[in-house]
């Protein structure tokens, strides 16, 4: 039985959840951009990702291969791991993944293994993108999982974060600030130019 006081709380909760689920692709991409900022603050190539289920964020990640000494620590992988832990299941059916940069082939593979239903990305990656820029694994009929893919959401902003980052890196390198693990070999290399 729902008591009147509980009913008010329940009502407010429903409104709150409703607001969350009314978030669109652009809103979620803005959240992913915030995560890209966290990667940048840690000296990593700025890419951010999140996993959403029924309008609620259940996994967040940002690029961290340098700090974790882990070539698989792309933003998507981190977000997928967190989401799977959160629901206690490696299958993330009915989930959407938002990422600021087009996923690479490794991340596309993980997306397929996780059975993610939809992928939304920001900037295209013409050097390693596996959603149509270099190759399109999601259109490969011999693979058995086909997520719906939407590209180009806030593409300009997502790309600018990367190109600004590499411009700053070049400036630092010119000024003699050396970092052997510059991150230029990590995701987003095509934004060096």
Contacts with Zn ion, residue ranges (CB under 5 A):
74, 104, 106-107
Which residue has the CB atom at the shortest distance from Zn ion? 107
CB of residue 176 vs Zn ion: minimum separation in angstroms?
A: 31
Query: What are the DSSP E strand ranges found in 56-159?
Result: 56-62, 95-101, 118-123, 148-150
Nearer to Zn ion, 16 or 90 (CB): 90
CB of residue 106 vs Zn ion: minimum separation in angstroms?
A: 5
Nearest to 30 by CA among 153, 124, 187: 153
Contacts 24+ apart (CB under 8 A), 22-25: 22/55, 23/55, 25/98, 25/120, 25/150, 25/153
Nearer to Zn ion, 23 or 140 (CB): 140
CB of residue 107 vs Zn ion: minimum separation in angstroms?
A: 3
Residue 4 neighbours by CB distance under 10 Å: 6
Nearer to Zn ion, 23 or 184 (CB): 184
| Catalytic residue of the set 76, 96, 102, 140 | 76
Known catalytic membership, residue 44: no
Active site members: 76
């Amino acid at each position: 039985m729902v008591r009147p006081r509980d009913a008010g709380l329940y009502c407010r909760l429903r409104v709150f959840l409703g607001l969350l689920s009314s978030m669109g692709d652009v809103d979620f991409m803005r959240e992913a951009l915030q995560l890209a900022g966290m990667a940048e603050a840690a000296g990593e190539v700025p890419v951010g990702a999140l996993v959403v289920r029924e309008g609620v964020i259940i996994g967040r990640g940002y690029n961290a291969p340098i700090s974790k000494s882990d070539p698989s620590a792309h933003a998507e992988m981190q977000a997928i791991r967190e989401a799977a832990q959160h629901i206690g299941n490696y299958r993330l059916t009915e989930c959407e993944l938002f990422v600021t940069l087009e996923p690479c082939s490794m991340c596309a593979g993980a997306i397929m293994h996780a059975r993610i239903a939809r992928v939304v990305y920001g900037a295209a990656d013409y050097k390693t993108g596996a959603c149509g820029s270099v190759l399109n694994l999601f259109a490969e009929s011999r693979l058995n999982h086909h997520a719906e893919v939407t590209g180009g959401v806030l593409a300009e902003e997502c790309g600018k974060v990367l190109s600004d980052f590499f411009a700053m890196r070049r400036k630092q390198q010119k000024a003699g600030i050396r970092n052997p693990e510059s991150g230029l070999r990590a995701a987003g290399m095509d934004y060096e130019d």
